[in-house]
A = this chain, B = another copy of it.
């Protein structure tokens, strides 16, 4: 169950090849000057195979987003004794930020995504959808964790404030051309700000 097996490893290798080819080509030529056929070609597979791994062309750029949501949900699920709502939310956001920094900020992938999303409506739409879906999941999880203290509207407002603030901070930092460390710090400051003002 634990070790993958040859077939699964091959599958992951083609998946990774598709992602890398896509990121490289998008970076070189821009999102909509690259066709799925070209990505598949660069990854040495047939065009049809691309859609075996990703539902849409946009999804290849958002491949790892789900992982981060799971991190936050785990934090919420493993509520520590005596932890308040805002403490828990801060911890969940921190987990996601650190993970994002490890995987994407430091490699410049986040900056590429931001740049491409800014210039491509379809991509922007999908990206936002991912964030909002994650936001909704977080709301549900928090509501489950503190069912008697908070109603759904309050939790929605709190999470909305967090996500709105962090997103705006990250975007501003990326647009300013900040390096990965500075982006991460800006996001953390936003989390702290919101946590303080609702305490």
Instruction: Write the residues of chain A forming the contact surface with B, with a CB cutoff of 8 angstroms.
Output: 121-122, 124-126, 128-129, 132, 135-136, 139, 152-154, 156-165, 167-169, 172, 189-190, 193-194, 197-198
Contacts and interface: CB of A to CB of B under 8 A. Distances in A.
Contact of A157 (B136, B153, B154, B194): B194
B197 A157 contact: yes
A49 to B, nearest CB: 22
A190 B153 contact: yes
Contacts of A198: 197-198
A192 to B, nearest CB: 10
A155 to B, nearest CB: 8
A156 B132 CA distance: 16
Please state the number of chain copies in the assembly. 2
Contact of A129 (B128, B156, B158, B164): B128
A139 B197 CA distance: 18
Contacts of A161: 157-158, 160-161, 164
A180 to B, nearest CB: 19
A159 to B, nearest CB: 6
21 contacts: A122-B125, A125-B125, A128-B132, A135-B164, A152-B168, A153-B169, A153-B189, A153-B193, A154-B165, A154-B197, A156-B167, A156-B169, A157-B193, A157-B194, A160-B160, A160-B162, A160-B163, A160-B165, A160-B168, A161-B164, A164-B164
Contacts of A136: 168
A56 B167 CA distance: 27
A125 to B, nearest CB: 4
Contacts of A126: 125
B153 A168 contact: yes
